[in-house]
Structure 1
Amino acid sequence: MGTEKSATQDAIPQPIPKEQTNIASEGKPLDEKKLKKFYIGSIDQGTTSTRFIIFDGIGHPVAQHQIEFSQIYPHSGWHEHDPKEILTSVEQCIEKATQAFIYQGHDISDIKAIGITNQRETTLVWDTNTGEPLYHAVAWPDTRTKGIVRELKAKEGADELQKICGLPLSTYPSSVKLLWLLKHVDTVRKAYEEGRLTFGTVDTWLLYQLNGKDRKYFVTDATNASRTMFMNLNTLQYDDTLLKFFDLDRNKVALPKIVPSSSPDEFGALAYGPLKGIRIAGCLGDQSAALVGQQGFTPGCAKNTYGTGCFLLYNVGEKPVASTHGLLATVAYDFGGQRKPVYALEGSIAVAGSGVQFLMNNMGFITQSHKISELAATVEDNGGCVFVTAFSGLFAPYWIDDAKGTIFGITQFTERGHIARATLEATCFQTKAILDAMELDSGHKLSALAVDGGMSNSNLCMQTQANLIGIPVDRPAMRETTALGAAIAAGFAVDIWKDFDELKEINQKDRMIFEPKITKEESAKMFKKWGKAVEMCRGWLDTDEANGDF
């Protein structure tokens, strides 16, 4: 391996302040003096960590606490969480952040509401009578259900599912995870047969527990329900055709009531802890929350969140758009009242920040994840390396379940910096593929892409993204947009904000713009090589591996 070179300031791109560009927001001016007196708490329960952030009325975080929790990998492709540890992490984050809030001189009574946002598709089951978990939570990236998915795809009616629920059959949604639990876990199967099985996603589990196990608040919001494959996208209710396809009897499994994402009454209130009695007024799946936090309230707005995975949502308005190019149709948000639900097209990338963690934890390339840009900047380009980060297969728009992570183009010239660049570029290439699919489905090309999440902190990654997609990348200064989205949903329910025009001005200060700096021909050449690598990584798994056997 060659000698590692030092990164230079010129090697890491510098973005342009938004006020120096022609990209501008058009919302009503905020009454900052008034809004700074109101506070909203936000529970952000993610894939690898939980945080609780207290925002003021202009969207500025004033106190927060974050806790990482255990990632459980019993077998290759399996990914689980301890439901009780998730709950404990939420309780501890609320306690620590509240202590910091009080230390600053604020009163708990100043917190008007709490919102919840959460990792989606992650599947939990518990005993209806006791509220005790019957198994670990099966996390959204888990791929143990490959065999079940293969069987379901061959079943009569499989081709009609996506028209009803917006999702294709894959290892991704909650439905197949629940079927695996019923098939392989005796305690779950027994609870189902005895009619005491309760199913929920992370939001439902937390709302039920935080309300003191009050069954009145056994609920989920439409954004989370739209990730299960049990909900009809048009009616926002459970669909008998879908449940019948999955052979589920509603008399044997309790499904949470589906409610709007913003409501002063449907989510209850904290039953214990330092914020006891404060209403929970908002609930959104994490990617919908990020779209709300980026003020994506107008059809044509899009955001990309670069977290553990990478998720791109495109607002399509008040009617769902069925994708014919490998994307998902989903609920963007439902703010209730007389308002209609808003829908989105979504593209999901399984590996984004987790690819950086792989280089750090498994390969020892870096000691801290934010050092990835410095390592990548030690080389001028990827040196011919293309890294297809298909650790859990490839998601949108490819949907290749039998792929594995593969690096192409390694030579004796290859350095760690080249592989670091190729890792960042893998997310950017997949984002371009998704944007191209969204353009085909919607008939419109984006003018800019709003970004957030951990990898968006990398100037090099964001510049690469702008270069590949050929449009500006718009990054906020305050990048906790997922938590902010949940806070907005809660604050909207209790009238801290009253209209969407007002919300459009939140978190608009000090945004930065990355403009494309290579030609369309250069971008197309890079993307062509990526496409070749994707095709070459197909069919890597043997039949028994693809079926989930071990």
Structure 2
Amino acid sequence: MAPKPSHLMEIIAEATTSLFCFIYTGKPLHNAIVWNDIRTSSTVDRILANIPGRNINHFKEICGLPISPHLPALKIHRLMENVLAVKKACKGNRCRAVTVRSWIISNLIKGKLHVTDVTNALLTLLMNISTLQWNRTLLNAFSIVAEMLPQIRSSSEIYGKITDNRTSLLSIKISGILGNQQASLLGQMCMKPRQPNTYSDGCFLLCNTGNKSIISEHGLSTTIAHKLGPNSPTTYALKGAIAVAGHALKWLENQVHILPRAVDAAKYAAAVFTTAGVYFVPAFKGLYALYWQKNARGLIIGLTQFSTKHHIVRAAMESICFQTRDSVKIMYQETEQEINKLHADGQLSTNNVLMQLQADAVGVPLFRSQLFVSISFGVAMCPAQAIGIDLCRFAPDKKEYSNVFYVKFNPASTAEDRQHRYGKWKRAIQRTFNWAIRPKVKSSPDSERRTPLSLLDDFELRKLYSNIFLEEFTCHEMMEYEIHLTQSSAEGFKPMHHIFYTTHYVESNELKLNK
């Protein structure tokens, strides 16, 4: 049946994946940088070099966020520095900086509209959390001009009609834009301070704080839950972001082959009663809340000769739960609201063992939505609100809704056991801090960026030459090595050759060695 003009569309996509496109055609100028790409770590260092005390929370009072590699401001800045096509287009004012959401909308309306909503705009690290407008201080810090950014609108209003005749959706109204986790918050009816958790490749815990934006002093981010109309009040939330959740199980499957399939994790974890002292910190891309350690790296600790793959899988699942407990603890402190239950959805929430481990780790009941992906339900609310249809009658004093059903997981652990295991986890996670090499900032003199290695004989040089190819560099800046060849004589060591090598990080994760 052909769609009726009254049909509505909501746009939802991953929030921080960023790219540049031409203004008039919408054609991308390069490949997008996805949300968990850590090549922007070096960009963070260059930005921090100009900030007092290299404080990652320097702008938090303005935007509620720390300076982190996963945020679009860093990705946009990096693209402007490193992609020639972007540099040229920016000079001629011929391009736009977009996230996936705003790019999709622009294409559906043939470039006539460049918009985003407040939930997505805040995540760029460029919006003032109070005024809901692009902030001049933030724009200047990242060398970005407001003209290349989308117009900021509410999460629920009529933005325009689809005019791209390549789709079967012609003339349908686009009437809602919302972040993934914010949609989960709505979909689970968390209209008063409660905590849903979305379990997927990453894990995100949100706590509705009402009309008050609380700037966290202990590692949480402040975000916008929703703004359901141009004249509606803004609802804020605290957010605990975990970079690696389900991705840890995929790593066990694809990289080390401990799991035949990631979906088998529950079976493997249930084969043992505990981790037998094994702890897994999946800091593959650094750590987000509460630590914001971009130079942290993953670790498995506590192994003995009796440790098995089942213990490691269970430890990987517990790592998700312990990181969630981190955020819950701080949410309780900063909202002064008792945390007496958790809500869960997302792909990983179908894992019953994980849900039970989560309830045990935090010590409160966990309610899993029978929708599993309640994001879809939350997404439907925004377009409906835009035309005056209140799907769930947002009664401010109503605590439960009869049309939303849950499966309940009660904690089976004791307070003593929870505290003991959490204490060991905290010891493990601290060992991951600052593990990666910090790249030198570009402004450093060349003399500071060169590392004299040693006085090498021929055998040592060949050994070094091969090791340069094998070494896995964690930083993405150019690493430079200065090698001095010497010759022994009666007078001592004399310079024989001077070779200067430069290694470049390339996207294939290989190294090129240039003489």
Q: Same fold (TM over 0.5)?
A: yes
Change (3 A) 1:124 1:347: same
Q: Which residue of 2 aligns with 1:256?
A: 150
Cα distance in 2 for partners of 1:202, 1:208 equals 10
Deviations 1:183-238 (A, max 9, x none): 11111111111111201111101111122x232x2100000001001110001110
Query: Secondary structure at the residue paired with 1:275?
Result: coil
Does structure 1 retain, via aligned residues, the 8 Å contact 2:159–2:173?
no
> In the alignment, is residue 196 of structure 1 matched against residue 91 of structure 2?
no
Cα distance in 2 for partners of 1:314, 1:169 equals 21
Question: Following TM superposition, by how much is the alpha carbon of 1:489 offset from its aligned partner in structure 2, in angstroms?
Answer: 1.0
Q: Quick check: 505-514 or 197-206, which moved more?
A: 505-514
Q: Which residue of 2 aligns with 1:416?
A: 309
Q: Which residue of 2 aligns with 1:70?
A: none
- What value does the CA root-mean-square deviation take over the aligned residues? 2.0
Question: Following TM superposition, by how much is the alpha carbon of 1:108 offset from its aligned partner in structure 2, in angstroms?
Answer: 3.6
Cα distance in 2 for partners of 1:394, 1:543 equals 15
Q: Which residue of 1 aligns with 2:437?
A: 542
> In the alignment, is residue 169 of structure 1 matched against residue 67 of structure 2?
yes
Cα distance in 2 for partners of 1:508, 1:358 equals 37
**Ranges in structure 2 where 5+ consecutive residues have no aligned partner:** 440-472, 478-504, 506-515
Question: Following TM superposition, by how much is the alpha carbon of 1:406 offset from its aligned partner in structure 2, in angstroms?
Answer: 0.8
Q: Which amino acid aligns with 1:241?
A: T
Q: Which amino acid aligns with 1:491?
A: A
Query: Secondary structure at the residue paired with 1:460?
Result: helix
1:186 to 81, 84, 103: 84
Q: Which amino acid aligns with 2:103?
A: W
Cα distance in 1 for partners of 2:402, 2:65 equals 32
Does structure 1 retain, via aligned residues, the 8 Å contact 2:21–2:28?
yes
Question: Following TM superposition, by how much is the alpha carbon of 1:537 offset from its aligned partner in structure 2, in angstroms?
Answer: 1.3
Question: Following TM superposition, by how much is the alpha carbon of 1:505 offset from its aligned partner in structure 2, in angstroms?
Answer: 6.7
> In the alignment, is residue 294 of structure 1 matched against residue 191 of structure 2?
no
Alignment of 1:447-462 (within 5 A): 447-462=340-355
Cα distance in 1 for partners of 2:164, 2:401 equals 30
Cα distance in 2 for partners of 1:111, 1:307 equals 33
Deviations 1:470-495 (A, max 9, x none): 11111111112112211111122123
Alignment of 1:25-36 (within 5 A): none
Query: Secondary structure at the residue paired with 1:138?
Result: coil
TM-score, normalised with respect to structure 1:
0.76
Change (3 A) 1:167 1:268: farther
> In the alignment, is residue 214 of structure 1 matched against residue 111 of structure 2?
yes
> In the alignment, is residue 428 of structure 1 matched against residue 321 of structure 2?
yes
Does structure 1 retain, via aligned residues, the 8 Å contact 2:26–2:111?
no
Cα distance in 1 for partners of 2:261, 2:97 equals 37
Question: Following TM superposition, by how much is the alpha carbon of 1:242 offset from its aligned partner in structure 2, in angstroms?
Answer: 1.0
Question: Following TM superposition, by how much is the alpha carbon of 1:146 offset from its aligned partner in structure 2, in angstroms?
Answer: 1.2
Cα distance in 2 for partners of 1:455, 1:111 equals 35
1:441 to 312, 317, 334: 334
Q: Which residue of 2 aligns with 1:119?
A: 14
> In the alignment, is residue 238 of structure 1 matched against residue 238 of structure 2?
no
Cα distance in 2 for partners of 1:510, 1:156 equals 48
Change (3 A) 1:210 1:129: closer
Cα distance in 2 for partners of 1:513, 1:404 equals 34
Q: Which amino acid aligns with 2:336?
A: G
**Ranges in structure 1 where 5+ consecutive residues have no aligned partner:** 1-101
Q: Which amino acid aligns with 2:35?
A: W
> In the alignment, is residue 486 of structure 1 matched against residue 379 of structure 2?
yes
Question: Following TM superposition, by how much is the alpha carbon of 1:402 offset from its aligned partner in structure 2, in angstroms?
Answer: 1.0
Q: Which residue of 2 aligns with 1:327?
A: 220
Cα distance in 1 for partners of 2:230, 2:76 equals 32
Change (3 A) 1:270 1:128: closer
Alignment of 1:290-369 (within 5 A): 290-298=184-192, 300-369=193-262
Q: Which residue of 1 aligns with 2:428?
A: 533
Change (3 A) 1:507 1:280: farther
Deviations 1:379-417 (A, max 9, x none): 111121100000100110011111111100112211111
Higher RCO, 1 or 2 (CA under 8 Å, sep at least 6)?
Answer: 1
Does structure 1 retain, via aligned residues, the 8 Å contact 2:205–2:324?
yes
Cα distance in 2 for partners of 1:491, 1:505 equals 20
Change (3 A) 1:539 1:505: closer
Cα distance in 2 for partners of 1:445, 1:370 equals 34
Structure whose alpha-carbon radius of gyration is higher:
2
Q: Tell me the percent identity.
A: 34
Cα distance in 1 for partners of 2:351, 2:339 equals 22
Cα distance in 2 for partners of 1:478, 1:267 equals 30
Cα distance in 1 for partners of 2:161, 2:216 equals 36
Q: Which amino acid aligns with 1:220?
A: T
Does structure 2 retain, via aligned residues, the 8 Å contact 1:291–1:313?
yes
Q: Which amino acid aligns with 1:532?
A: R
Q: Which amino acid aligns with 2:121?
A: A
Question: Following TM superposition, by how much is the alpha carbon of 1:132 offset from its aligned partner in structure 2, in angstroms?
Answer: 1.0
> In the alignment, is residue 466 of structure 1 matched against residue 364 of structure 2?
no
Q: Which residue of 1 aligns with 2:483?
A: none
Q: Which residue of 2 aligns with 1:226?
A: 122
Q: Which amino acid aligns with 1:455?
A: L
Question: Following TM superposition, by how much is the alpha carbon of 1:338 offset from its aligned partner in structure 2, in angstroms?
Answer: 3.2
Change (3 A) 1:458 1:270: farther
Does structure 2 retain, via aligned residues, the 8 Å contact 1:112–1:494?
no
Question: Following TM superposition, by how much is the alpha carbon of 1:270 offset from its aligned partner in structure 2, in angstroms?
Answer: 5.9
Alignment length, in residue pairs? 439
Cα distance in 2 for partners of 1:431, 1:393 equals 16
Cα distance in 2 for partners of 1:331, 1:267 equals 23
Cα distance in 2 for partners of 1:210, 1:154 equals 40
Does structure 2 retain, via aligned residues, the 8 Å contact 1:325–1:440?
no
Q: Which runs of 4+ in 1 moved over 6 A?
A: 502-507
Does structure 1 retain, via aligned residues, the 8 Å contact 2:51–2:58?
no
Cα distance in 1 for partners of 2:267, 2:425 equals 23
